[in-house]
Amino acid sequence: MTPSPRRRRAEAVAGLAATADRPPETAAASPIAAAREAPRLPARLRRLPWRAAAVGLASLLLFVLAWHLLTTYRINVYVRFANVPSPADVLASAEAAFSTSMFFSHVGMSCRRILYGFLIAALVAIPLGLLMGRFRLLREAVFPVSEVLRPIPAIAWVPMSIMLWPTNEQSIVFITFLGSFFPILLNTLHGMAQVDPVLVRAARSLGASEAATFREVYLPATLPQIFTGLTVGMGVAWVSLIAAEMISGQFGIGYFTWEAYSLVQYSDIALGMIAIGVLGLASSFAIRLIGRLVMPWSAAR
């Protein structure tokens, strides 16, 4: 028998009353459960860096093990490992190099050149990229020139830089500058192209000036792309620096590696290559760390 409409309304009202009279602890069960499970998330986040470090260390150990086996058994399968020094030979060369100050002088000279060239490139490329992204006339005037110069490799600039600058030191810094300048410029320009125009219009409607719009809208929105360009530019800067030091330098880790090749000291060649890799890794890590400090919202995602 179908219940009457009055009876259905009475049952609905009774159901709502029962829900309203439910004990508060039952309704709060879900927030309490969420609060109990909330501390687990930070613990997982704290374990993530250790997990990444463990995986990275394991991969490095596997790489060294493969290097040891290939050089110990002198594997020659198209790629020849007969003359490649073993990890033990490189370790012995490192101990001999670390016992004197000459190796550290080479490392310090390369780091100083990287610092000068990279900082000058960042100080020029970032403002120029911001202005090119904001003003179309400037972009149309500068972008074709940069695209013509960008594909020229750093090693091709060595003869020209020697003619341009009075000393080898200045020419090497100039080549390092060129290597890092174009990645920073292009990434900054790309970041400016991705700025949301709604944010710009909102700032203008609130009475923001051109300088305030750059400071409060354009620069924060472009920072992720800028730091990407800085990271890429640092890697290219090291490549350019080593090429310049091998050809025209008298000091530096690139010169150390090329001199070892000229003297047929294969262990020192491998030592120089490892030093270049470690220095490049440390430089990129420093840029990423600065990026996390400058952009805390990016690290929190």
**What would the pLDDT profile of 117-160 be if each residue is shown by its tens digit?**
999 999 999 999 999 998 999 999 999 999 999 999 888 898 89
Residue-wise pLDDT tens digits, 237-265: 999 999 899 887 788 999 999 999 888 89
d(CA 135, CA 189) in angstroms, rounded, equals: 11
Residue keyed to tokens 């463990």 = 54
Instruction: At 90, list the tokens.
Output: 């490189």
Give me the percent of the chain exceeding a pLDDT of 70.
82
Least confident of 18-27, 62-71, 265-274: 18-27
Q: Rounded to an integer, what distance in angstroms lies between the CA atom of residue 61 and that of residue 104?
A: 26
Contacts of 260 (CB under 8 A, 6+ apart): 266, 267, 268, 269, 271, 272
- CA–CA distance, 6 with 4 (Å, rounded to integer): 5
Tokens coding 59: 């991969």
Strand partners of residue 76: 80
Quick: pLDDT tens for 189-226: 999 999 988 988 898 888 888 888 888 899 899 999 99
d(C-alpha 35, C-alpha 150), whole Å: 54
Under 8 Å between Cβ of 93 and 99:
no
Q: What is the pLDDT of residues 28-75, one digit of tens each?
A: 444 444 444 444 545 554 555 677 788 888 999 999 999 999 998 888
Cα separation, 213 vs 227, in Å, equals 20
Q: Tell which wins on pLDDT, 279 or 24.
A: 279
pLDDT of 27 strictly over 80: no
Identify the weakest region by mean pLDDT among 2-11, 103-112, 158-167: 2-11
**Positive or negative torsion for Cα 251, 286, 65, 61:** positive
**Stretch among 12-26, 97-111, 278-292 having the lowest mean pLDDT:** 12-26
- Cα-trace Rg, the chain: 30
Give residue 13's pLDDT.
43
Helix (H, G, I), strand (E, B) or coil at 152: coil
Q: Which two tokens stand for residue 295?
A: 């952009």
Buried b vs exposed e over 273-290: b needs ≥16 C-beta within 10 Å?
eebbeebbeebbeebeee
Three-class SS of residue 38? coil
- Mean per-residue pLDDT, 98-127: 94
Query: Which amino acid is residue 87, in one-letter code?
Result: P
Closest by CA to 250, choosing from 136, 109, 128, is 109
